[in-house]
Amino acid sequence: MTSIAAEGRRTRPNALSRAWAFVLRHVLTVYSLLFFLYLMLPIAVVIVFSFNHPAGRFNYTWRGFTWDNWLNWNAVPGIQSAITLSLEIALFASIVATALGTLIALALVRYGFRGRGTTNLIIFLPLSTPEIVLGASLATLFLHSASYGLSIPFGFWTILIAHIMFCISFAVVTVKARLIGFDRHLEEAAMDLGANEWTTFVKVTLPLIAPAILAALLLCFAISVDDFVVTYFNAGNQVTFPIFVWGAARVATPPQINVIGTAIFGIAVTLMLVNVFLQNRRAKQG
């Protein structure tokens, strides 16, 4: 009697754990693939509708296939200048933010100094502040600047400053992650072999953290090109690409918006694929 009871007790968790193992093995895979399908659904819509031949002002229902939108991607007034402005801002903002962020990351990882905690807090705060507050507060600074005798008109420079501001923290976090896992012995070896500090930095340190700097550059570029909220508060009458889309969403959505969206997506994914490929090759080489 007791042995049967014991057996029953033993088989029940077994059946349960076998069921759990089955869930983990197959259901999880199927679920994950469905999840990726869900992630890709809106992107597929964006790409497909870039080839649409819409009847009215809005591009919501499928009317037929055409190459026209791609061939005349800049036929919509204002779209080309909006993209140019977005790319210019993203280029400058990502370079400046990455440079400033790399220096901060070097200081944080390499040195013990007073005010470290405060520094970390100031880096962390912009990441945890809602964008609308970042945008409104910076705009308030520029609005008040006139009453302090240095008038900063809203436009290119205010957008650039805004983008550098919210990109710095992302650059710091990205470069810091790489510096923490850094083998110091390589630098010591270089110096033992007679290299001076500057040569060691340029020939050893910089090449080793170069992938992180590149990653920070790309991340900042992507965040900058995509930003709407902070830009909207600080742009004045300048129109970046997201602001163009915002304006268009109210009156008309030309399929050219989808063309540009698809193009940005294609370029970004290609860059990331190249990066993944290079990482895999490096891993294989050991």
State the amino acid at position 70 in one-letter form. W
Near other proteins by CB under 8 A: residue from 174, 241, 255, 256? 241
Task: Give the Cβ contact number of residue 156 at 10 Å.
Answer: 15
Stretch that binds other proteins, among 12-20, 73-81, 87-95, 209-217 (CB under 8 A): 12-20
The smaller minimum CB distance to other proteins, of residues 1 and 39, is found at 39
As to burial, measured by CB atoms within 10 angstroms (0-12 exposed, 13-18 middle, 19+ buried), residue 197 is exposed
- Tell me the helix, strand and coil percentages in the chain, rounded to 5: 80, 0, 20
Q: Site for other proteins (CB under 8 A): how many residues?
A: 95
C-alpha separations of 26 from 16, 18, 213 in Å: 16, 12, 39
Residue ranges in 105-164 that form contacts with other proteins under rule CB under 8 A:
106-107, 110-111, 113, 119, 122-123, 125-126, 128-134, 136-141, 143-144, 161-162, 164
User: Which is closer to other proteins, CB of 44 or CB of 75?
Assistant: 44
Pick out residues in 22-61 that bind other proteins (CB under 8 A): 24, 28-29, 31-32, 35-36, 38-43, 45-46, 49, 60-61
- Block residue for tokens 């992107």: 43
8 A C-beta contact, residue 220 and residue 98: yes
Asked if 274 is part of the footprint of other proteins (rule: CB under 8 A), the reply reads no
Question: Is the CB of 72 or the CB of 199 nearer to other proteins?
Answer: 199
When asked if residue 168 is in the footprint of other proteins (CB under 8 A), the reply is yes
Alpha-carbon Rg for the chain in angstroms: 26
Nearer to other proteins, 1 or 158 (CB): 158
